Amino acid sequence: MTAIPVVDEPENPLRRPALVEGKNDFASVTDVVAGVAERRTPKGWYLLFGISIALLLNLLAMIGYLVWNGIGVWGNNVPVGWAWPIVNFVFWIGIGHAGTLISAILFLFRQKWRTSINRAAEAMTIFAVMAAGIFPAIHVGRIWVIYWVFPLPNQMQLWPNFKSPLLWDVFAVSTYFVISSLFWFVGMVPDLATFRDRAMKAGRTLAARLYGVFALGWHGSNRHWVHYEKAYLILAALSTPLVLSVHSIVSFDFAVSLLPGWHTTIFPPYFVAGAIFSGFGMVLTLMIPARRWFGLQELITLNHLDNVAKILLLTGTMVGYAYAMEFFIAWYSGVEYEQFAFLNRAFGPYAWAYWIMVTCNVISPQFFWFRKLRRNPAVLFVLSIFVNIGMWFERFVITVTSLHRDFLPSSWGMFSPTLIDVLTYVGSFGLFFTFFLLFCRFLPILAISEIKAVMPQADPHHDHPRTSPGHAGRAHAHH
């Protein structure tokens, strides 16, 4: 915010609703967010955490079983050599994209409403990327030589194939994880310092020390803020291309092959739109219960949910356009294999999966044309679950229906998952929710310092209060 001068805006004729509701001031915002971590652990948290840990242990057991026995324990087999593991990988990595969009792109576009949801969304990104990364790693079969994916000198003179999108994937996903983690951590430093100071005041020395290690000696000096905001801006700029590039590269895993149904140029933008769609779906799934259980309704307001729903409407419709365009191109190209692949998708043996996908991804977001529904948390929550289901089925449809019937009818076959497939997938939710619940319990789940900067109180022009919120960022930098 210091690096880019804020130009004085004229008074906005369409006054935007306040981002923080109720009678909140700086102190109460800190109290509300820090209170989540400071008050006694709710019983419900233990319940959810217990379930998550159980699922996580199940995941570890499944991975152990897989490594011991080999990939044959899954349903993957010729002709469907890529099945649930890749479906799950793309599902999880896609979810991450909403966090990066919120934290980076919305930051660069000065979308101030992002401040209430960016922290949790970034956490979601990181945990989703962790859940995603497991699947290709265990799918290689011999996980003990997984380091072969990296270009390291070795006695075999074995070198990764730089022409392979699978290798690009390794770099895209690992870059994504590193940058997202750094961005999340750097943004959290001032709030960790707040937690540290509050723990110190309350006499909880151990907690103060632990928070203190990660607060990196922050004491909110002007110099700290100048450096912090520069670092934040740089990381936002680094993350922005990743929102588009990571899922483009994931789509190359499919698009660079020659299989009908995969080999299409629409894949990168189509995958990116789908990723953002699925990620915002997951944001709603997580934030609607969180705001209620932790009493954050005044900070994550209905306006925030409304905005997320609008993005769901937009990206869901884009995804629907891509589905339609795939059919159009299949017909327009005149390639009979391509035409067959899409007819087979919609009317073949996996038609049920295709229509689940269309219903959840294209039809369900259309409800968000209505303001009343966009502002109803219960409706939003239910529809967000539909989005999650739909986006998983999208990846299933792309992967399985394209593979199971290719050019040669003699090599056609059907895929069905095994119990191990199902338990591994369910277990990945255990990993995700274990980390997310730990995050909710011990870390600042909202960006305290950033929320303060978008409150009316951050505007120092006392003579004409509640003017354009554009002043807030500048005022904040001067403090």
Partner 1 sequence: MTVLFPKWTNKLPAWLALGAAATGLFVVLAVNYWFSPRHTDVGYQPFQPIEYSHKLHVDLLGMDCRYCHRNVETGPHATVPDADTCWGCHAQVKKDSKLLAELVAKYGNGKADNPSIEWTKVHLLPDFTYFDHSVHVRANVGCTSCHGRVDQMEIVRQVEPLSMGWCLDCHRDPAPHVRPPGVPATRMDWVPTAESIAAAQRRLEWQGDTPPELNPPTHCSACHR
Segment near partner 1 (CB under 8 A); pick from 47-55, 212-220, 240-248, 281-289: 212-220
CB of 188 to partner 1, least distance (A): 15
Tokens describing residue 9: 């805006």
Smallest CA-to-CA distance from 186 within 230, 223, 144, 151 is with 230
Check binding of 479 to partner 1 (CB under 8 A). Answer: no
For partner 1, the closer of residues 197 and 253 by Cβ is 197
192 vs 319, which CB is nearer to partner 1?
192
Question: Could you say which residues in the range 82-121 bind partner 1, by CB under 8 A?
Answer: none
Nearer to partner 1, 15 or 142 (CB): 142
Q: Stretches 90-98, 209-217, 249-257, 361-369: which one binds partner 1 (CB under 8 A)? A: 209-217
Q: Which residue has the tokens 């990620």?
A: 279
How far is the C-alpha of 385 from the C-alpha of 277, rounded, in Å?
A: 12
Cα 462 to the center of its chain, rounded Å: 39
User: Cβ–Cβ contacts within 10 Å for residue 332, how many?
Assistant: 11
Nearest distance, CB of residue 312 and partner 1, angstroms: 40
Interface segment toward partner 1; rule CB under 8 A; list 32-40, 207-215, 398-406, 454-462: 207-215
Q: How many residues does the chain have?
A: 479
Please give the residues from 459 up to 478 whose contact with partner 1 meets the rule CB under 8 A.
none
Cβ distance to partner 1 smaller for residue 151 or 413: 151
Q: Is 71 in the site for partner 1 (CB under 8 A)?
A: no
| Binding of partner 1 by 178 (CB under 8 A) | no
Amino acid at 281: G
Q: How far is the CB of 193 from partner 1 (least distance, A)?
A: 11
Q: State the number of binding residues for partner 1 (CB under 8 A).
A: 16
CA angle 89, 125, 6 (to 5 degrees): 140
207 vs 249, which CB is nearer to partner 1?
Answer: 207
Smallest gap from Cβ 126 to partner 1, in A, equals 19
217 binds partner 1 (CB under 8 A): yes
Residue ranges in 147-256 assigned as alpha helix (H):
165-201, 205-215, 222-255
Phi, psi of 26 (to 5 degrees): -55, -45
Stretch that binds partner 1, among 134-142, 211-219, 398-406, 446-454 (CB under 8 A): 211-219
Sign for the pseudo-dihedral over CA of 421, 423, 424, 429: positive
Q: Is 320 in the site for partner 1 (CB under 8 A)?
A: no
The smaller minimum CB distance to partner 1, of residues 219 and 292, is found at 219
- Residue closer to partner 1 by CB (options 155, 265) is 155
Task: Tell the smallest beta-carbon distance from residue 348 to partner 1 (Å).
Answer: 35
* Cis geometry, peptide bond prior to residue 365 (ω within 30 degrees of 0): no
Q: Which of 149, 166, 200, 231 binds partner 1 (CB under 8 A)?
A: 200
Q: Contact between 216 and partner 1 (CB under 8 A)? A: yes
**Minimum separation from the CB atom of position 157 to partner 1 (A):** 4
- The residue with tokens 């905005």 is 307
3-state helix, strand and coil shares in percent for the chain, rounded to the nearest 5: 75, 0, 25
CB nearer to partner 1: give 16 or 209.
209
Q: Which residues of 342-358 are buried (b: 16+ CB within 10 A; e: fewer)?
A: bebbeebebeebbbbbb
Task: Select from 66, 208, 287, 309 the one that contacts partner 1 (CB under 8 A).
Answer: 208
CB closer to partner 1, 101 vs 170? 170
Binding mask 136-165 for partner 1 (x = CB under 8 A): ----------------xxxxxxx-------
- Minimum separation from the CB atom of position 234 to partner 1 (A): 17
Nearest to 477 by CA among 177, 229, 242: 229
Phi, psi values for residue 59, rounded to 5°: -60, -45
* Structure token pair of residue 77: 């087999």
Closer residue to partner 1 in complex, CB, 55/199: 199
Considering only residues 112, 196, 345, 474, which one is a binding residue for partner 1 as defined by CB under 8 A? Answer: 196
| Alpha-helical segments (H) within 17-164 | 26-38, 43-69, 84-100, 106-108, 118-139
Determine if 334 is a binding residue for partner 1 (CB under 8 A). Answer: no
DSSP, collapsed to helix, strand or coil, labels residue 77 as strand
Name the β-bridge partners of 80. 77
Q: Which of the ranges 28-36, 67-75, 213-221, 349-357 carries the binding residues for partner 1, by CB under 8 A?
A: 213-221
Please, what is the minimum distance in Å from the beta carbon of residue 13 to partner 1?
A: 47
**209 binding partner 1? (CB under 8 A):** yes
Q: Are 430 and 59 spatial neighbours (Cβ–Cβ below 8 Å)?
A: yes
Report in angstroms how near the CB of residue 219 gets to partner 1 at its nearest: 8
Q: What is the largest CA-CA distance in the chain?
A: 80
Q: What tokens were used for 290? A: 């969180």
Asked whether the beta carbons of 351 and 345 are under 8 A apart, the reply is: yes
In the complex, what is the shortest distance from the CB of residue 197 to partner 1, in angstroms, rounded to a whole number?
9
Cα distance between residue 421 and residue 139, in whole Å? 11
Asked if residues 466 and 35 have their Cβ atoms less than 8 Å apart, the reply is no
Site of interaction with partner 1 (CB under 8 A): 152-158, 196, 200, 208-209, 212-213, 216-217, 219
